[in-house]
């Protein structure tokens, strides 16, 4: 190894390769071709499990799946306003067809336009559907419900809002579909209240599902994050599936105490059934690029004159890390930090604590970077001492190169002898770099995945740390700091390496110009602190010489 900086080049290039591969994995696969939906493919978009009773509807008795050309009957929606949501419920099927998050504008430039998690329009199709499947007439997600009011509002001082829609069969079975909204909560209680006023026992299987049109491929270096389905069970807390995975091998699992969800950058919609009942979890493709994930519950029997209630929950909102663990076990894993999650969680915990003190995520990133640099200072100092000694013997290395010319074997042997004589370990700086690489990658995912940093301002022109610097000031500062670092280190003897070192700051500057401003801020501050540490260690060595 002729120069420790070569190791740095290789390792930084390795990081860039990892990030590029993540981007390619999530964004370079084209969306599947659109195909026509067909009711002949099977039991519609509510798969019947193998253990279902013989008297359940057959494929021909199940309505055709919702398609772009065969939508459910359009009814005037029931509108619900809470402190967190604006929700539209279609009386046809009691489907949640629109859910806007009031605290999350679509962008800072469009603060009046809210991020819409559930929708049924040209920009986005994602619906929360549920129903009961019986051998005879039953309220599936195509059945006509009636509502007692067209609009519901969570009033000031009111902590809970109940919204009820009713369905009644010709035989005298009444089903109340009840939605419960609580102040300050992204959980929506969902229940079927079955009142059997007929003369015969009534049986049905409950189901809940989320249907989504596969989003178009986005080629963006700023959000290489997972979009797809997730499933959790006590045996395996978190499994994720891309839409291509679902097309190739649908989910078909039985679990007690599980949940299933559709996950995207910053947000998640998860359906969570009763934890004490075994459910059949499934996914299916319903054509035209649409996928369904959900669960199918065991049969519920309601004798004449009695009432049964089947409850579940829907979480529809941001992936807030101190909220998700209390919603369902494993739901916090939808904040996907990858294989280095154990480091990332610690970094986010520290970042959040600092933010609680200063109220600014940019300052929190700066102080977190300072904390990490102080923590690794003993290791970093060892690397800086090695580079300082290398710089001291640089003239002698140049003389050796001139003496031995192109005889690399003799040149390398002479260099090893010189290193041994001066007690220099040419690889002395490798360990600090290797140790810090996992921290950098983990912090990258913290800054990228944490919804807490979405649209978080720093100061002056940085209004959103989760997107690129609009004026590229931070990337320019980072490039300048990286170039200054190269000037503090001994120049490589190999002219090719020397040119690579000159190009590296510019290459990384271009690369990071499209990264979130929060990550570039971290890298810039890290460079400045590294230079300060290196200057301090070098001065100590020079003073002791």
pLDDT in tens, 370-415: 998 888 887 777 777 777 677 677 777 777 777 776 777 777 777 7
- Is residue 25 assigned to a domain? no
Question: Structurally, how many domains does the chain consist of?
Answer: 2
- Is residue 146 assigned to a domain? yes
Q: 3-state class of 257 per DSSP?
A: coil
Give the dihedral of Cα atoms 76, 90, 265, 514; nearest 10 deg. -20
* 45 pLDDT higher than 80: no
> Which of 268, 270, 234, 224 has its CA nearest to residue 254?
234
**Boundary-marking domain end, from 304, 328, 352:** 328
Question: 371 with 247, same domain?
Answer: no
- Is residue 311 assigned to a domain? yes
| C-alpha span between 525 and 468 (Å, rounded) | 16
Contact assessment for residue 512 and residue 523, using Cβ atoms and an 8 Å cutoff: yes
**Which residues contact residue 192 at a Cβ distance below 8 angstroms, ignoring those fewer than 6 apart?**
130, 132, 139, 175, 176, 177, 178, 206, 309, 310
Domain with 305, as residue range(s), is 35-328
Question: 438 with 322, same domain?
Answer: no
Question: 469 with 379, same domain?
Answer: yes
Question: 303 with 227, same domain?
Answer: yes
| C-alpha span between 517 and 501 (Å, rounded) | 24
Question: 350 with 254, same domain?
Answer: no
- Is residue 392 assigned to a domain? yes
The confidence band for 42, taking pLDDT boundaries of 50, 70 and 90, is very low
- Is residue 420 assigned to a domain? yes
**Stated pTM of the model:** 0.80
Instruction: Supply the pLDDT for residue 48.
Output: 45
Question: 317 with 366, same domain?
Answer: no
Mean predicted confidence (pLDDT) in 274-278: 92
Q: CA dist 408 to 250, 333, 414, Å?
A: 58, 52, 10
Range with lowest mean pLDDT among 32-36, 492-496, 535-539: 32-36
Structure tokens, 62: 């199940």
Question: 189 with 73, same domain?
Answer: yes
Question: 373 with 414, same domain?
Answer: yes
Q: What is the pLDDT of residues 154-187, one digit of tens each?
A: 999 999 999 999 999 998 999 999 999 999 999 9
Instruction: Supply the pLDDT for residue 59.
Output: 30
Highest mean pLDDT among 29-33, 263-267, 538-542: 263-267
Range with lowest mean pLDDT among 253-257, 321-325, 375-379: 375-379
CATH number at residue 72: 2.70.98.90
Contact assessment for residue 227 and residue 213, using Cβ atoms and an 8 Å cutoff: no
Question: 504 with 399, same domain?
Answer: yes
- Is residue 219 assigned to a domain? yes
Beta strands in 352-426 (DSSP E): none
Instruction: Tell me the average pLDDT of the chain.
Output: 81
Question: 110 with 219, same domain?
Answer: yes
- Is residue 449 assigned to a domain? yes
What is the DSSP code string of 112-152? EEEEEEEEESSS-EEEEEEEEE-SSS---TTSB-EES-SEE
Question: 224 with 148, same domain?
Answer: yes
* 29 pLDDT higher than 50: no
- Is residue 14 assigned to a domain? no
């Amino acid at each position: 190894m002729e120069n420790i900086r070569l190791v740095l080049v290789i390792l930084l290039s390795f990081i860039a390769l990892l990030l590029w591969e993540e981007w390619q994995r999530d964004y370079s696969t084209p969306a599947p071709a659109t195909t026509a939906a067909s009711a002949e493919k099977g039991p519609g978009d509510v798969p019947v499990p193998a253990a279902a009773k013989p008297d359940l509807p057959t494929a021909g008795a199940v309505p055709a799946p919702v398609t772009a050309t065969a939508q459910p009957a359009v009814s005037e929606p029931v509108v619900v306003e809470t402190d967190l949501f604006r929700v539209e419920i279609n009386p046809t099927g009691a489907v949640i067809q629109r859910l806007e998050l009031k605290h999350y504008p679509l962008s800072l430039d469009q603060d009046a336009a809210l991020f819409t998690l559930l929708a049924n329009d040209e920009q986005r199709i994602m619906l929360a559907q549920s129903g009961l499947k019986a051998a005879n007439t039953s309220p599936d997600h195509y059945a006509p419900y009636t509502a007692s009011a067209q609009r519901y509002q969570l009033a000031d001082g009111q902590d809970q809002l109940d919204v009820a829609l009713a369905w009644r069969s010709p035989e005298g079975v009444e089903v109340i579909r009840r939605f419960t909204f609580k102040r300050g909560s992204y959980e929506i209680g969902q229940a079927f209240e079955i009142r059997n006023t007929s003369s015969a026992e009534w049986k049905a299987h409950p189901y809940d599902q989320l249907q989504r049109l596969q989003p178009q491929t986005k080629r963006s270096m700023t959000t290489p994050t997972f979009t797809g389905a997730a499933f959790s069970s006590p045996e395996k807390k978190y499994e994720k599936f891309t839409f291509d995975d679902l097309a190739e091998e649908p989910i078909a699992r039985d679990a007690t105490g599980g949940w299933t969800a559709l996950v995207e950058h910053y947000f998640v919609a998860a359906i969570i059934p009763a934890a004490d009942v075994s459910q059949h979890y499934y996914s299916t493709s319903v054509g035209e690029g649409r996928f369904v994930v959900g669960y199918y519950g065991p049969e519920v029997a309601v004798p004449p004159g009695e009432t049964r209630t089947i409850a579940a929950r829907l979480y529809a909102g941001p992936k807030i890390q101190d909220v998700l663990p209390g919603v369902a076990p494993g739901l916090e894993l939808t904040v996907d930090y990858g294989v280095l999650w154990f480091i990332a969680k610690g970094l986010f915990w520290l970042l959040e604590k600092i933010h609680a003190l200063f109220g600014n995520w940019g300052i929190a990133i700066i102080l977190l970077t300072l904390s990490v640099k102080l923590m690794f200072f003993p290791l970093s100092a060892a690397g800086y001492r090695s580079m300082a000694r290398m710089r001291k013997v640089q003239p002698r290395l140049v003389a050796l190169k001139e003496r031995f010319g192109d005889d690399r074997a003799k040149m390398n042997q002479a260099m090893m002898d010189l290193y041994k004589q001066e007690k220099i370990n040419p690889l002395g700086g490798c360990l600090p770099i290797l140790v810090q690489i996992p921290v950098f990658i983990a912090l990258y995912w913290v800054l990228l995945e944490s919804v807490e940093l979405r649209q978080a301002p720093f100061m002056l022109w940085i209004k959103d740390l989760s997107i690129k610097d609009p004026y590229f000031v931070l990337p320019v500062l980072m490039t300048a700091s990286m170039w200054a670092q190269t000037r503090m280190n001994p120049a490589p003897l190999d002219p090719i390496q020397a040119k690579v070192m000159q190009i590296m700051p510019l290459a990384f500057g271009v690369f990071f110009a499209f990264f979130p401003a929060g990550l570039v801020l971290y890298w810039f501050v890290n460079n400045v602190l590294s230079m300060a540490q290196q200057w301090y260690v070098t001065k100590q060595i020079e003073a002791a010489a």
